[in-house]
C-alpha cells in the first residue's frame, strides 16, 4: 500500500495551545511498531491537561495529542506478529513500554518507568496516521464500530480498572464523582454491567438527564446541593455511605470530601488528576472506619482486552458526540468550562 508523505494533524506548538490544524509528515513505523490510519479519536480531559502543562511530568513539544485512537493498520515493522495490514487497532495512553522492567514482567505495564505516553511523550492520535508499539496496541474485533469504541481505549479502560480496584461487589453502591463527564458516563455503564448500583455526582441539568438515562439511582448536583456529603449518604443503603467512590472530577474539593461519605470498610479510588491537588483525610476517621484510599492509572493490556470485550458484547452504551478533527480547539474550550456531557469523538478525514 502506498502511503502519503503528508497528513493533517492538530499540533500544540506551545504550552497553553491552542492546537494548530496543519500538515505534517506521516511517521514511519520502526521494526516493532504499527502505523494506524486513525478513523476516530476521543478527546480526553488528559489531552487538555497536557496542552496546559498541568502536571509535573515533562511534555514533548511540539505535540500531537490524543490517546483514544481507533483505526486500521496500514503499515507495520518487520518484527510485528500481533497485527496484519487491514486489522482494526486502537492506540491507547500507554503507547509502548520496555517490557523488561519489574512492573512489565508482572504485567503492570502502566507502571513501567520507561513507558511512552501517546499524546504526551510521543505524538498521539489527533492526526491521520499514528504510531504504536505492536505489543501494547489494542486489537479491536472486526465488526466493532470505531467511533463508539474510541472512548473505551482510555475512558472505558480506566474506569473498568478503577471499579475492579475498588473491590466493590455486585449489589453494592458506588459513588461516581464527575459522573457526567467522559470517564463518568462510561463508569456508570461498566458499574451497571458489573452489577453495581450507582450514585452519580456532577453539576447541571444536562448531566442529570444523561445520568438518569444511564441508570443512576440518584443524582447529586454539586452546583445546587447544600450538603453533598449528607446527600450522597442519604442516597446509599441505610444512609451508611457508598461502598466505593470513584473520583473522576477535575477539581480538588471532592478529593477532600470523599472520606466523609464512603462507607466504613469502603474504598476510595482516585483517578481524576486535577492540577496540583492533594488528597486529605482525617487520620482518626480513616483508622476507626477502616477506609481504604488508593490510586488507579489506566489499565494493563489484559484490562484493555476485557474492557473492549464488555463493549463488543453490547453491554456498554454511553453517549458521545462526533465532531471533525479540525474542531478540537472548540471542544477544548467547552471541556475547560465543564460543558460536555459524555465524550466528544473526532472524525478524522480519510
Ligand atoms: P471530563 O471533563 O469529561 O469530566 C470531568 C467531570 O467532572 C465533568 O463532568 C465536571 O462537571 C465534573 N466535576 C468537576 N468538579 C466536580 C465536583 N466538584 N463534583 C462532581 N463533579 C465534578 O473529564 P474526563 O475526560 O472524564 O477526565 C476526568 C479526569 O480523569 C481528568 O483529570 C483526566 O486527566 C483523568 N484521567 C485519569 C486517568 C487515569 O488513568 N487515572 C485516565 C484518564 C483520565
Ligand atoms: Zn485519557
pLDDT tens readout for residues 334-344: 999 999 999 99
CA 93–ligand 2 middle distance (angstroms): 6
Residue of minimum CA distance from atom 35 in ligand 1: 272
Separation between Cα atoms, residue 231 and residue 32, nearest integer Å: 52
Q: Is 271 in the pocket of ligand 1 (CB under 6 A)?
A: yes
What is the atom index within ligand 1 of the atom nearest the CA of 45? 25
Alpha helices in 53-171 (DSSP H): 102-105, 146-149, 155-166
CA 179–ligand 1 middle distance (angstroms): 8
Nearest ligand (C-alpha, residue 297): 1
Residue of minimum CA distance from atom 19 in ligand 1: 202
What is the atom index within ligand 1 of the atom nearest the CA of 155? 43
- The mean pLDDT value for 284-293 works out to 98
- The mean pLDDT value for 263-268 works out to 98
- The mean pLDDT value for 288-298 works out to 98
**Ligand 1 site-directed mutation target among 155, 249, 296, most atoms within 8 Å of CB:** 249
Distances (CA, A) of 110 to 36, 92, 105, 176: 21, 11, 12, 23
**Ligand 1 site-directed mutation target among 152, 273, 299, most atoms within 8 Å of CB:** 273
Instruction: Give the pLDDT band (50/70/90) at residue 292.
Output: very high
> Which class in CATH covers the domain with range 6-154+299-347?
alpha beta
CA 304–ligand 1 middle distance (angstroms): 20
Exposure string over 246-268, b if 16+ CB within 10 A, otherwise e: bbbbbebebbebbbebbbeebbb
Q: What's the pLDDT at 2?
A: 84
Q: Which residues contact 178 (CB under 8 A, 6 or more apart)?
A: 184, 201, 202, 247, 248, 249, 250, 254, 272
Q: Is the pLDDT of residue 1 over 80?
A: no
Task: Output DSSP code: residue 16.
Answer: T
Q: Is 185 in the pocket of ligand 1 (CB under 6 A)?
A: no
Q: Is 222 in the pocket of ligand 1 (CB under 6 A)?
A: yes
Q: Is 316 in the pocket of ligand 1 (CB under 6 A)?
A: no
Q: Is 247 in the pocket of ligand 1 (CB under 6 A)?
A: no
For the chain, the structural domain boundaries read 6-154+299-347, 156-295
What is the atom index within ligand 1 of the atom nearest the CA of 204? 11
CA 208–ligand 1 middle distance (angstroms): 16
Alpha helices in 110-266 (DSSP H): 146-149, 155-166, 182-193, 205-214, 228-234, 253-261
What is the atom index within ligand 1 of the atom nearest the CA of 48? 34
| Angle at CA of residue 276, ends 275 and 279, nearest 5° | 110
Q: What's the pLDDT at 91?
A: 98
Q: Is 17 in the pocket of ligand 1 (CB under 6 A)?
A: no
- The mean pLDDT value for 13-27 works out to 97
Q: Is 246 in the pocket of ligand 1 (CB under 6 A)?
A: no
- Fold of the domain built from segment(s) 156-295: Rossmann fold (3.40.50)
Task: Output DSSP code: residue 276.
Answer: T
Q: Is 297 in the pocket of ligand 1 (CB under 6 A)?
A: yes
Mean pLDDT of the chain: 97
Provide the whole-model pTM. 0.98
Separation between Cα atoms, residue 191 and residue 205, nearest integer Å: 22
What is the atom index within ligand 1 of the atom nearest the CA of 201? 20
**Ligand 1 site-directed mutation target among 41, 46, 207, 224, most atoms within 8 Å of CB:** 46
Q: What's the pLDDT at 318?
A: 95
Instruction: Give the pLDDT band (50/70/90) at residue 46.
Output: very high
Amino acid at each position: 500500500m502506498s502511503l502519503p508523505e503528508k497528513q493533517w494533524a492538530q499540533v500544540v506548538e506551545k504550552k497553553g495551545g491552542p492546537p494548530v490544524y496543519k500538515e505534517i509528515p506521516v511517521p514511519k513505523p520502526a521494526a516493532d511498531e504499527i502505523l494506524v490510519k486513525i478513523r476516530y479519536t476521543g478527546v480526553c480531559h488528559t489531552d487538555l491537561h497536557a496542552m496546559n502543562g498541568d502536571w509535573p511530568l515533562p511534555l514533548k513539544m511540539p505535540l500531537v495529542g490524543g490517546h483514544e485512537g481507533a483505526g486500521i493498520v496500514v503499515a507495520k515493522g518487520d518484527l510485528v506478529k500481533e497485527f496484519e495490514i487491514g486489522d482494526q487497532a486502537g492506540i491507547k495512553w500507554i503507547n509502548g513500554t520496555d517490557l523488561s522492567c519489574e512492573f512489565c514482567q508482572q504485567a503492570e505495564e502502566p507502571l513501567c518507568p520507561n513507558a511512552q505516553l501517546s499524546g504526551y511523550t510521543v505524538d498521539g492520535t489527533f492526526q491521520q496516521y499514528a504510531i504504536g508499539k505492536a505489543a501494547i496496541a489494542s486489537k479491536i474485533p472486526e465488526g466493532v464500530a470505531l467511533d463508539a469504541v474510541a472512548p473505551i481505549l482510555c475512558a472505558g479502560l480506566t474506569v473498568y480498572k478503577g471499579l475492579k480496584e475498588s473491590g466493590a461487589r455486585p449489589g453494592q453502591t458506588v459513588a461516581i464523582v464527575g459522573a457526567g463527564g467522559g470517564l463518568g458516563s462510561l463508569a456508570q455503564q461498566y458499574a451497571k454491567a458489573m452489577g453495581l448500583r450507582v450514585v452519580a455526582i456532577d453539576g447541571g441539568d444536562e448531566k442529570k438527564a444523561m445520568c438518569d438515562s444511564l441508570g443512576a439511582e440518584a443524582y447529586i448536583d454539586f452546583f445546587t446541593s447544600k450538603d453533598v456529603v449528607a446527600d450522597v449518604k442519604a442516597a446509599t443503603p441505610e444512609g451508611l455511605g457508598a461502598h466505593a467512590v470513584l473520583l473522576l472530577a477535575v477539581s480538588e474539593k471532592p478529593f477532600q470530601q470523599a472520606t466523609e461519605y464512603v462507607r466504613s470498610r469502603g474504598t476510595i479510588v482516585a483517578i481524576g488528576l486535577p492540577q496540583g491537588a492533594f488528597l486529605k483525610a482525617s487520620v482518626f476517621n480513616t483508622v476507626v472506619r477502616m477506609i481504604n484510599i488508593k490510586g488507579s492509572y489506566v489499565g494493563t493490556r489484559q484490562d484493555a482486552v476485557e474492557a473492549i470485550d464488555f463493549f463488543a458484547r453490547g453491554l456498554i452504551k454511553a453517549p458521545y458526540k462526533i465532531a471533525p478533527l479540525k474542531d478540537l480547539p472548540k471542544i477544548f474550550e467547552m471541556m475547560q468550562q465543564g460543558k460536555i456531557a459524555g465524550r466528544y469523538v473526532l472524525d478524522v478525514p480519510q
